[in-house]
Structure 1
Amino acid sequence: MTQTPIGVGIIGVHPDRGWASTAHVPALRDLPQFRLSALSHNRIEVAQAAAQKFGFDHAVSSTEELVSHPDVDLVVVTVRVPEHLQLVTSALEAGKSVFSEWPLGMNLRDAEAMNRLAASKGVRTMIGLQTRANPTIRHIRKLVAEGYVGEVLSATVIGSGITWGEELEDAFRYTLDPSKGASMVHVPFAHTMDALAFALDDEFISASATLVTRRATIRIVESQEAVPLAVADQIAFTGRLASGALVISHFRGGLSRATNFHLEINGSKGDLLLTSPVGYVGIGGFNLSGAQVGENLHPIPVPSDFGPDDNVLTGNVKKLYELFASDLLSGTRHGPTFESAVKLHRLINAVEKSRGASHEI
């Protein structure tokens, strides 16, 4: 492989809002391994404004133009989940590598179809499980691998969804609709379970869950309108890992006045505790502590791999892109791929179908 910058084409970039402009563009602009080649928006004037603002070489108004553009090597899909299947499929059919935000698809079937297509085309894929790139999560993975906790016996997680509480901004109203694929199960819970499995270098083999909707409505901040909540705002989860370790988790909508995030890994020789004042593992603000036999719990410093101008969201995404570039150059598979996405979709599928009964994954 050469070290020519990877030409990136991002589908659906707005100059003033959206995850692409908030996280992906700032991350890519700092990485010499990539070039901002093209972006698309269904309104060409919006695409042109975004291209001028962010320094893209080309602005187009359709997915077809973007995925077939000769300067685009990697297509990035950051739009809402119901559109992923069509857009990812178009990019793969064009023979392009693809970075899709999580969730990969609306369901396990669609995720498996995209993964099979990518494999048949022989292209590289990346899924936006960016918490795997977080320095704290990677440090926990290193400690576990080095035997800090000994044999992992169990893990306990308390999380808060941040959204799905008493109120939310109108821009996030879509997260209340199960047809949009962005519920608490699909986003904060899924990211956290993926990060935990990654940190333990393990995978779920069975799961059961009880999903409950306790709030009938949520208040929209701008209008004070009460709108229906049609997705779960309480998740009680039990899972078993391939190693035999047990995972217990409770996720709640909104934020707690007490504990918002608590991840405890209990082992035969030691324990690790990860806490955060915000609601789940993808947001950051972590405090890591630990203790081995004969010790009291004490803080564990984490090497920071982020640049001075990176917030945790941009930093996580930047690290994912660095992994993608490294894998492409060296032929390794250190970054999360569509295959990783399928494994997580299997877990979420088991959670949604379990109704309290254990399901193999």
Structure 2
Amino acid sequence: MAPIKIGFIGLSSSQSWAVWAHLPYLKNTSKYEIVALCNSSVASAEAAIKTHGLPSTVKAYGTYEDLAADPNVELVVCSIRVDKHYEALLPALKAGKDVFCEWPLASNAAQAEELLKIAKEKGVKTLVGLQAGMSPTVRKVKELLDGGRVGRLLSSSFVGAATLVGESGPEALAYTNDDKSGGNLLTIYAMHSLEGITHAIAPIASFSSHLATVHPVVTLTTATGTPTGATVPRTAPDQVMLHGTLSNPSHTIFSYHLRGGPAFSNSPSTGLSWTLYGTKATILITGPNSFLNIADATSSGFKIEVFEHESGTTEEVVVDGGEWSSEEKGVPLFGRNVARLYEAFADGEKEAVLGWEEAVQRHEFVKSVYEKAGWKR
């Protein structure tokens, strides 16, 4: 099968999610081929081509329209800040290109709905970057639950830390402190972990929500954590709490709390505590952070333990990440579940990937979280 030809928006020369999570797989697969880059300028795209050792045949573009007009591009991949997604995607959709866009799809539900409408009119394939369902850790939890290991699941309690959102944060992510940008603790970090929870158990049936901003001023830092001396106001939430029921047969009660800030003592196992309590056993999932979309094999720092109520014994469940379970395989931790997403899309596994209809549903959920919390936007 000929490789799917990609036009990539946002693959810069510097370190970024596109470089960490997308590029390692795309450079080492026969299923895709990067044929064009679009950055803020042609010079920037040319520099990225050189920096990442891409073939000299890769085209460099400085506008979204020029990339969309390239007849060689079949799939446009968009990995830039969320408040730029809408304007970046419109030309690709109007040109009839398939599109893989990072989550969130847009800054708000209205934009996402418009993008979906155009995609449907053009009959293009769409994919959104919600990859928690690809996580071997999440899938193992689902396997344990579906296999009856805990009996009837009575409750799910999730407490996690989003380590990049606290009193200080990288200057490259300063825009996420502005609630109007569409990218923040709720829309990005919470939605990625909630995707893992609902994939393992069931969608949310009903809920109440509470949002808060406990750090209204943020000190900006360099990528290495050194304070720059600059501060920005935070108008987005840095605490998210949800309580309700899930739509599985036992109507499991769930609680969810995600807070910005470091894990306890920066321990590798205190950034996440997810407890699944059943009639026969309890499952405890721990990890260095709340990022279930990144969780891979046991070696990635995430751990699953099962406590059997009757015997009083505890077992650690080993998770095998398969082909990309170690960085030596060419795909570092951040990129492994993204690689699995690309593979499923290329192989036509429609049930394994989420398109823009599902993305719009999740945007509507975010909207309802804000509304139930009485949040003024």
Q: Distance in 1 between matches of 2:279 and 2:191?
A: 27
Amino acid aligned to 1:312: L
- Write out aligned runs for 1:32-71 (5 A): 32-54=30-52, 55-56=54-55, 57-71=58-72
Q: Distance in 2 between matches of 1:208 and 1:117?
A: 33
Q: Distance in 2 between matches of 1:308 and 1:21?
A: 18
Q: Is the 8 A contact 2:215 2:234 kept in 1?
A: yes
Query: For residues 281-340 of structure 1, what are the alpha-carbon distances to aligned partners after superposition, in whole Å with 9 as ceiling and x for unaligned?
Result: 23432111113442423210111221532322111111111111111xx6x332122122
Q: Distance in 2 between matches of 1:82 and 1:169?
A: 17
- Which of 316, 320, 326 is the equivalent residue of 1:303? 320
Q: Is the 8 A contact 2:153 2:277 kept in 1?
A: yes
Aligned-pair CA distance for 1:74: 0.8
The aligned counterpart of 1:260 is 271
Question: Any idea what SS the aligned residue of 2:359 has?
Answer: helix
The reply to whether residue 212 of structure 1 matches residue 230 of structure 2 is no
The reply to whether residue 313 of structure 1 matches residue 314 of structure 2 is no
The aligned counterpart of 1:224 is 229
Number of residue-to-residue matches in the alignment: 351
- Which of 10, 18, 21 is the equivalent residue of 1:20? 18
Q: Distance in 2 between matches of 1:151 and 1:68?
A: 54
Q: Distance in 1 between matches of 2:214 and 2:21?
A: 32
- Write out aligned runs for 1:108-123 (5 A): 108-123=109-124
Q: Distance in 1 between matches of 2:280 and 2:374?
A: 32
Q: Is the 8 A contact 1:164 1:218 kept in 2?
A: no
The aligned counterpart of 1:96 is 97
The aligned counterpart of 1:269 is 280
Q: Distance in 1 between matches of 2:113 and 2:140?
A: 31
Amino acid aligned to 2:271: N
Query: For residues 143-201 of structure 1, what are the alpha-carbon distances to aligned partners after superposition, in whole Å with 9 as ceiling and x for unaligned?
Result: 2222222333221100112123122222221121112212111111111111110112x
- Which of 352, 355, 358 is the equivalent residue of 1:334? 352
Amino acid aligned to 1:177: D
Aligned-pair CA distance for 1:140: 1.5
TM-score by length of 2: 0.87
The aligned counterpart of 2:255 is 248
Q: Distance in 1 between matches of 2:374 and 2:315?
A: 37
Question: Any idea what SS the aligned residue of 2:154 has?
Answer: strand
Q: Provide structure 1 residue ranges, at least 5 long, that are not aligned to the other structure.
A: none
Amino acid aligned to 2:366: I
Q: Distance in 2 between matches of 1:281 and 1:89?
A: 30
Query: For residues 243-283 of structure 1, what are the alpha-carbon distances to aligned partners after superposition, in whole Å with 9 as ceiling and x for unaligned?
Result: 22221011111113264211112233332211112243234
Amino acid aligned to 2:37: L
The aligned counterpart of 2:306 is 290
The aligned counterpart of 2:159 is 158
Q: Distance in 2 between matches of 1:183 and 1:77?
A: 18
Q: Is the 8 A contact 2:38 2:64 kept in 1?
A: yes
Instruction: Check 1:96–1:226 CA distance in 2 against 1; reply closer, same or farther (3 A cut).
Output: closer
Instruction: Check 1:79–1:128 CA distance in 2 against 1; reply closer, same or farther (3 A cut).
Output: same
Q: Distance in 1 between matches of 2:31 and 2:87?
A: 28
Identical residues among aligned pairs (%):
30
- Which of 234, 250, 256 is the equivalent residue of 2:239? 234
Instruction: Check 1:215–1:53 CA distance in 2 against 1; reply closer, same or farther (3 A cut).
Output: closer
Stretches of 4+ aligned residues off by more than 4 angstroms: none
Q: Distance in 1 between matches of 2:362 and 2:94?
A: 24
Q: Distance in 1 between matches of 2:293 and 2:254?
A: 18
The aligned counterpart of 1:31 is 29
Greater mean alpha carbon deviation, residues 188-197 or residues 14-23: 14-23
Instruction: Check 1:346–1:149 CA distance in 2 against 1; reply closer, same or farther (3 A cut).
Output: farther
Instruction: Check 1:83–1:272 CA distance in 2 against 1; reply closer, same or farther (3 A cut).
Output: same
Q: Is the 8 A contact 2:263 2:289 kept in 1?
A: no
Q: Provide structure 2 residue ranges, at least 5 long, that are not aligned to the other structure.
A: 222-226, 296-300
Q: Is the 8 A contact 1:188 1:281 kept in 2?
A: no
Q: Distance in 2 between matches of 1:246 and 1:121?
A: 41
TM-score by length of 1: 0.91
Question: Any idea what SS the aligned residue of 1:272 has?
Answer: strand
Amino acid aligned to 2:196: A
Greater mean alpha carbon deviation, residues 97-106 or residues 10-19: 10-19
